[in-house]
Homo-oligomer: A and B are copies of this chain.
Amino acid sequence: MPNRLDDFQSYREKMNARILEIDHLGIKRFFNLDTKAYEEAALDTKTKELLGLVASMVLRCNDCIDYHIQTCVDAGWKDEELYDAFNVALVVGGSIVIPHMRHAVESLDLYRKKVS
């Protein structure tokens, strides 16, 4: 049974494919830079995915949160560690982050159920 994470994932893939069809060199390179930013370098991928998650929370972007919640789980972060990162985002970004924290907690629960 599909949940909202699956719907997001399908939409994301469909539209990213559509964007690549556009064939704008700058946009393609940006998407490539974005992917590479989370690859192992001086920092490992696991740490960088957590940075991406917290940045997404303080900037209050639910789609970005859903994406990074999944990559953070895949990278091996445990729930307690993710909650501790949520707390940093909440303190930095304030109560305006709370609706996105509700979303993040629900996304985490949905993704754990899916991958378990």
Contact = CB atoms under 8 A, between A and B. Distances in A.
Interface in A1-47: 11-12, 15-16, 18-19, 22, 24, 26-27, 29-31, 33-34, 36-38, 41-43, 47
Contacts of A16: 102
A5 to B, nearest CB: 14
Copies in the complex: 6
A50 interface: yes
Closest 3 CB pairs of A and B: A94-B94, A15-B102, A63-B99
Interface of A: 11-12, 15-16, 18-19, 22, 24, 26-27, 29-31, 33-34, 36-38, 41-43, 47-48, 50-52, 54-56, 58-61, 63-64, 78, 80-81, 83-99, 101-102, 105-106, 109
